[in-house]
Amino acid sequence: MRKYVALIACFGLFSCSSIGYISMDSLYPAELSFSSDVRTVGVVDNTVNHDTLLATGITIGTLEGNGKIMARQLANHIADGDYFDEVILCDTSLRSSGPVNVEPKLPQEEVQALTSDLNVDMLITVDGVCVKTWLDLQIYWGAPDPVEVVAGEISSVISLYVPSRKEPMRLALGAQDTLYWDLGDSRLTERKLVEEASLHAALLSMKYLVPQWKAEERFYYSGGNVDMRDAAVYVQENNWDEAFQLWKRVYDSSKVKSKKRMRAALNLALYYEMQSNISEALKYAKEAMDIAKPWSTDKNFITSYSGQLSDKSLKIQKLNLQMERFHEK
């Protein structure tokens, strides 16, 4: 059984409500799936960098991002993802002049030539990076007053070309996010802002390309009787098999519609999720949800958790298909 869950050392116990919390990382599929034949990837900058950044001050409006920085960082992220066999970065930008707001489609001959020169199965071009800035106020925890910041909405476009098709497939993908910079930071320059925004733009595009780890929080019942409390200790020690034995004992010894059985069932669902056995986790989560009283806090928590499991079940099917490439070598 493949395991796509990693527990990270972050526990919280709340004795007043007999609920414990854990944080874990789960692997989710990329938004795009690629043929197992696509094993080597080339990344190239296809933007025009006019380098008109101010030496002092920050432009409030629209700034050009740095496609070369984004392309380099994107190649690094893809390589770190260890999903493709090899990632090649082309240091030469495809465009040295022309309008910034044009996202040209590469002609078939150029795609074929580039993929041949780089010896890659797929070409990724960075076609545009843009930062729209404005002044804003942010409230930070512990700060006595709002902080004046420069907000920057980052948008980027990448294109994917697969030359093995009769006519190279081009897929343009956009991504957006907003970052904030402290206006009072004496080290802040327009160049620094653009460089950081361009680095972040590369990270935004990764959701399309390789499976991603996602931090998630889960709750479990940690009180009610000795076995549940002892199992909570095992969870803190990352000893899930011992916790399972105690939860299963509570489950088997409890009345069918009792709160004890509901709590044990929810915890068993969490155990099976940690084992990447989502179908079994869904079975126990459904039982816990059926037992929970309508409109209760338990019902709300368990219903939410069941929805998360259902969503994960669908995504794991896609993830399994994407990971098949490692069994076809």
Q: What is the pLDDT of residue 168?
A: 54
Q: What is the pLDDT of residue 10?
A: 44
Q: Which of the residue ranges 42-51, 95-104, 236-245, 315-324 would you say has the lowest mean pLDDT? A: 95-104
Question: What's the whole-number mean pLDDT along residues 304-310?
Answer: 96
Residue 201 scores a pLDDT above 80? yes
CA distance 241 to 234: 9
CA distance 5 to 144: 40
CA distance 150 to 137: 8
Residue 51 scores a pLDDT above 90? no
Q: What is the pLDDT of residue 186?
A: 86
The alpha carbon torsion through 295, 297, 300, 306 (nearest 10 deg) reads: -130
Span 20-47, pLDDT tens digits: 999 999 999 999 999 889 999 999 999 9
Residue 272 scores a pLDDT above 90? yes
Q: What is the pLDDT of residue 102?
A: 56
Helix (H, G, I), strand (E, B) or coil at 270: helix
Mean pLDDT of the chain: 88
Q: Tell me the pLDDT band of 96, cut-offs 50, 70 and 90.
A: low
Span 216-236, pLDDT tens digits: 999 999 998 999 999 999 999
Q: What is the pLDDT of residue 1?
A: 41
Closest by alpha carbon to 266, among 300, 296, 324, 221?
Answer: 221
Six token digits for residue 125: 């071009």
Residue 97 scores a pLDDT above 80? no
Amino acid found at 267: N
| CA 178 to the chain's CA centroid | 16
Looking at per-residue confidence, does 99 or 95 come out higher? 95
The alpha carbon torsion through 242, 272, 14, 19 (nearest 10 deg) reads: -110
CA distance 2 to 235: 21
Q: Which CATH number fits domain 40-210: 3.40.50.1820, 3.30.160.150, 3.10.580.10, 3.30.43.10?
A: 3.30.160.150
Q: Which of the residue ranges 51-55, 66-70, 119-123 would you say has the lowest mean pLDDT? A: 51-55
% of the chain surpassing 70 pLDDT: 90
Domain boundaries, the chain: 5-29+219-327, 40-210
Closest by alpha carbon to 25, among 1, 47, 3?
Answer: 3
CB 265 within 8 A of CB 301: no
Element (H, E) at 236: helix 226-236
Q: Which of the residue ranges 107-116, 165-174, 193-202, 242-251 would you say has the lowest mean pLDDT? A: 165-174
Q: What is the pLDDT of residue 329?
A: 56
Q: What is the pLDDT of residue 147?
A: 86
CB 176 within 8 A of CB 193: no
Q: What is the pLDDT of residue 14?
A: 38
Sign of CA dihedral 274, 313, 215, 26: positive
Q: Terminus-to-terminus CA distance in the chain, angstroms?
A: 19
Q: Which CATH number fits domain 5-29+219-327: 2.102.10.10, 3.30.930.10, 1.25.40.10, 3.40.50.300?
A: 1.25.40.10
Q: 126 pairs with which residues across the strands?
A: 45, 158
Closest by alpha carbon to 209, among 14, 26, 76?
Answer: 76
Whole-model pTM: value is 0.83
Looking at per-residue confidence, does 92 or 142 come out higher? 92
Closest by alpha carbon to 155, among 125, 185, 186, 198?
Answer: 198
Q: Quick check: do 5-29+219-327 and 40-210 share a fold?
A: no
% of the chain surpassing 90 pLDDT: 70
Q: What is the pLDDT of residue 106?
A: 87
CB 134 within 8 A of CB 148: no
